[in-house]
């Protein structure tokens, strides 16, 4: 009899806990939501985060704030969210440089990249543009590759924001696919790297489209091709690198929204719906498109296949090219 009563009590407690969780899910959100951006203010991820916080807050009828937690290639912000309560009130605006590249570059991390997060969806993609200093006598991708081959392995130099950065890996991917060699000159951040390209300290580099296009318009750098699969609406005359000489080439800074693992599916669905609605609003689409950002508005169900392919792609490049930050 006592054992039967215990079973009844256990079932009752489980049902009560389930009812409380369901009530909490239905009430979500009931307080401020924190969107962690693992990069300093002013970058493309921070800009997107502030647009999304405003629009998603309106969709959810809640306040969403951006918290910048930069450092360690984005892994400080990732660690914060991985260790947060899985209740939907701490979210992460992540980039592929951290979730798809850092695990191979940095070795052991404070969290398991494959298990620590629940996907909300791929947000957007910011293409990179292959650029050269105006003194380099080429005007297209094929001409650039011919110029490099005549001077390889170290006669042509390229900048990056640092070893393992997205601009570095984009050029490593290009060199691997085109079978050419160049001299890597790393700098401490995207700003100094861009300044070096403008000053002619280096010959070439990959630059985010939001920065590259205005600078090319003033003649400070020359654009050769964009890294996306399709041409940019804001620069329709600029060919993709794939169509201009390196079939299959594609590289970009991809931004995704993630939550701590074990966040309830009902809450994930609410956040996903708010994210998609925000991205479809003119208040988000117009400023993003003007910066050359490609809006994706992916779903939680679509993210795992993308994540697996993106991680495998960059993991192979990092291993085959012997790149390490350990």
Specify the pLDDT at position 18.
Answer: 46
Asked whether residue 140 falls in the same domain as residue 222, the answer is: yes
**Looking at the 3D structure of the chain, how many domains does it have?**
2
Q: Are 51 and 120 within one domain?
A: yes
Nearest by Cα to 25 from 267, 258, 261, 265: 267
Asked whether residue 263 falls in the same domain as residue 117, the answer is yes
Q: Are residues 121 and 139 in the same domain?
A: no
113 and 19 share one domain: yes
Residue 132 and residue 109 share a domain: no
Across the chain, what does the average pLDDT equal? 90
pLDDT in tens, 73-100: 889 999 999 999 999 999 999 999 899 9
The reply to whether 43 and 104 lie within a common domain is yes
Tens digits of residue pLDDT in 262-278? 999 999 999 999 999 99
Could you tell me the residue range of the domain that residue 165 belongs to? 127-226
CA distance 88 to 101: 26
Decide if pLDDT at 47 tops 90.
Answer: no
Q: Is pLDDT of 325 > 80?
A: no
- Give whole-number Cα distances, 194 to 34, 68, 135, 187, 206, in Å: 32, 23, 15, 9, 9
Which pLDDT tens digit goes with each residue over 185-199? Answer: 988 777 888 999 999
Q: Is residue 61 situated within a structural domain?
A: yes
Q: What pLDDT digit, counting tens, does each position of 209-220 carry?
A: 888 988 999 999
pTM value is 0.82
Separation between Cα atoms, residue 89 and residue 295, nearest integer Å? 24
Answer whether residue 11 shows pLDDT above 90: no
């Amino acid at each position: 009899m006592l054992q039967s009563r215990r079973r009844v009590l256990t079932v009752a407690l489980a049902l009560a806990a389930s009812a409380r969780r369901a009530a909490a899910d239905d009430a979500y959100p009931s307080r401020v939501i924190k969107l962690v951006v693992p990069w300093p203010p002013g970058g493309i991820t921070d800009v997107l985060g502030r647009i999304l916080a405003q629009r998603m807050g309106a969709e959810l009828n809640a306040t969403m704030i951006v918290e910048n937690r930069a450092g360690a290639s984005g892994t400080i912000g990732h660690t914060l969210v991985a260790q947060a309560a899985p209740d939907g009130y701490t979210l992460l605006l992540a980039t592929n440089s951290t979730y798809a590249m850092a695990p191979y570059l940095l070795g052991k991390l404070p969290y398991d990249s494959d298990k620590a997060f629940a996907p909300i969806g791929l947000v957007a993609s910011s293409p990179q543009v292959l650029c050269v200093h105006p003194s380099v006598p080429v005007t297209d991708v094929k001409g650039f590759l011919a110029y490099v081959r005549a001077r390889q392995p170290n006669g042509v130099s390229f900048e990056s924001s640092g070893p393992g950065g997205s601009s570095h890996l984009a050029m490593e991917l290009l060199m691997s696919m085109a079978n050419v060699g160049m001299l890597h000159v790393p700098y401490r951040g995207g700003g100094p790297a861009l300044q070096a390209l403008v000053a002619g300290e280096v010959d070439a580099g990959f630059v985010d489209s939001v920065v590259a296009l205005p600078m090319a318009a003033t003649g400070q750098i020359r654009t050769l091709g964009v890294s996306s699969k399709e041409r940019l609406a804001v620069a329709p005359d600029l060919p993709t690198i794939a169509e201009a000489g390196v079939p299959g080439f594609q590289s970009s800074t991809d931004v995704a929204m993630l939550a701590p693992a074990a966040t309830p599916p009902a809450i994930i669905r609410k956040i996903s719906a708010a994210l998609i609605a925000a991205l479809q609003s003119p208040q988000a689409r117009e400023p993003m498109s003007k910066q050359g950002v490609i809006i994706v508005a992916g779903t939680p169900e679509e993210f795992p296949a993308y994540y697996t392919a993106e991680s495998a792609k960059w993991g192979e490049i990092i291993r085959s090219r012997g790149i390490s930050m350990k």
